[in-house]
Structure 1
């Protein structure tokens, strides 16, 4: 795919020969910087997270494949947040850390997004992350003395040689937007706010058979992700009912559609507040048109195309704070393969491609 898109990169046969030789010797191969950037951009484009207005060809890819230690990964996640926030003019980024390889597995980030809010057992905060909050408290995280509904959770980075480690995000990289309404002066009294940039932390980037378990990426928010799903939903901050009551709506029955009317005002407030704070955001109507165009135009996926994917274990860790990826019983733990075995499989594939097997006709 890369050589088709970039014929100036040279003959594909030369590159394939080098890859085969590297796989035969080491059991894996290393993407060139250009291949990595191209693969990450294609994965981002095809993931469904590529929002309208995002020029995917100019997506910035940070190549940090040399980093395997938890502290270094956490520091660069902080830098990703700083660069992506960009004073409110959100900059789409992908940061790629060390891959899984025969010599050892790469690091992983537990957090679903680099910025998420704590949920406490007494109902304060975001109930979607109550189990995760309990887990990180058990690992040593101390909640603020004066707890609030929007306490930022620590970053959890796990490596095979260090296990899971906690890192506090510096306040200066957590850019938040207070939520106010353009027509309802009382709305600001609800005390709602949200962070400016959605950096997905726990999806695995797969390019050409090489797997990068830590590759945080971001575009920008769709307003309804905040207003409808995070703030309005009963499983989130359940703000729809207080808004409906303040509007004087009849909340005794769902048939009055009070919830729909309240969520509309929540979404209006989110878009108004982000625009007022000069933070990039898009609305769900523009995004719907973009997604429909994307679905019509995208190529059908094969197992070989670059992709971001979510492992079941990664999804569980993001919600419950465990189990660790590298625990002895964790089936997801990377098992280094023998370079000799991979070379044997590669030779078998090449033989079949050359028509040397007698059963090819069948």
Structure 2
């Protein structure tokens, strides 16, 4: 265990100091310092510079992310000194406000204390902002993806509102303490009502989506050190909302309703009614975000940006790994270069990883 940590720490520090153009003497001094910390206490602490570098490179190494061109624009907020649930909640509110930036979304990560035998911080939410899902006799009301977590929140004392787009509360836990639950102030929340540039009836569907996807249930691993609470965000690619969240049969499943309103033949696959409905739903999402001044990218532009990322990495001499099944957009994938190109799904650290749910 100690040997593994020593090895991972050294690999990370060498990479970090090389990319940041540190001297050989600075490198050797830092490695000696880290070795002493690990041998005396079983772990080591990252400097602010190492933490920022590690978080940015973890994004650069994220095989499933098409938006990696902007990895070095990530704002890293260091909250490792925070110790109470109240301080954590305040930091999460700050993250939401800073990242949202009135619609001009800023890629941001907030990093809490590293996982240690005497300290583990967990955010139970999948994303800081997410809509509730309620099981009813008529089916699921709201987001089916959130049913389990919604029931957990209700059991913890949250008052359900039984709407289609109810924002769930934040649930925070330190060690084995009872989880703390708190509502996100409405002033911090930015939703985009979905409407269509041609179909006026689209507004009657009363659809909306939140502005910023802040993933909050993954761990950040840097040089053998694990941060179990490190919520991060970029901005949305339109298809995440229009071709998945609002379209998937196991999510909001809006395609049949949109197909009927478009007067398409929804009884026959050969009419390609799903394709037509899907296109107009995605058109509506992009139109609405753009009209409201909220950052979003279409999948064609995102693919072009990823190509630029690949070219820049190649110039520097770094290979680009990727998970092809995640990198291809769910709409018109064959129109992007990604569809026609193989990628090695090699996991490189630092990186973000899934962890078991705490509930």
For these two proteins, the number of residue pairs brought into alignment is 312
Could you tell me the TM-score, scaled by structure 2's length?
0.82
Q: Does 1:262 align with 2:277?
A: yes
Residues 263-283 of structure 1: CA deviation (Å, up to 9, x unaligned): 100000000000000000001
| Residue in structure 1 matched with residue 352 of structure 2 by the alignment | 308
| Residue in structure 2 matched with residue 111 of structure 1 by the alignment | 125
| Residue in structure 2 matched with residue 207 of structure 1 by the alignment | 222
| Residue in structure 2 matched with residue 169 of structure 1 by the alignment | 184
User: Are the aligned partners of 1:125 and 1:237 in contact in 2 as well (CA < 8 Å)?
Assistant: yes
Bigger radius of gyration: 1
Could you tell me the TM-score, scaled by structure 1's length?
0.81
User: Are the aligned partners of 2:54 and 2:222 in contact in 1 as well (CA < 8 Å)?
Assistant: yes
Residues 79-125 of structure 1: CA deviation (Å, up to 9, x unaligned): 100000001000010100011124x2320111111111011112221
**Is there any run of 5+ residues in structure 1 with no aligned partner, and where?**
323-362
User: Are the aligned partners of 1:63 and 1:96 in contact in 2 as well (CA < 8 Å)?
Assistant: yes
Inter-partner Cα distance in structure 2 for 1:247 and 1:162: 52
| Residue in structure 1 matched with residue 17 of structure 2 by the alignment | 3
**Is there any run of 5+ residues in structure 2 with no aligned partner, and where?**
1-14, 314-318, 322-344
Inter-partner Cα distance in structure 2 for 1:68 and 1:161: 14
| Residue in structure 2 matched with residue 132 of structure 1 by the alignment | 149
**Structure 1 residues 234 and 303: alpha-carbon distance in aligned structure 2, compared to 1, 3 A threshold:** closer
| Residue in structure 1 matched with residue 104 of structure 2 by the alignment | 89
Inter-partner Cα distance in structure 2 for 1:79 and 1:188: 32
Residues 192-251 of structure 1: CA deviation (Å, up to 9, x unaligned): 000000100011000001100000000000000001101111111111111110000011
User: Are the aligned partners of 2:60 and 2:68 in contact in 1 as well (CA < 8 Å)?
Assistant: no
Comparing 9-18 with 52-61, greater Cα deviation is found at 52-61
Q: Does 1:231 align with 2:275?
A: no
**Does the residue aligned with 1:2 lie in a helix, a strand or coil?**
helix
| Residue in structure 2 matched with residue 331 of structure 1 by the alignment | none
Inter-partner Cα distance in structure 2 for 1:176 and 1:141: 21
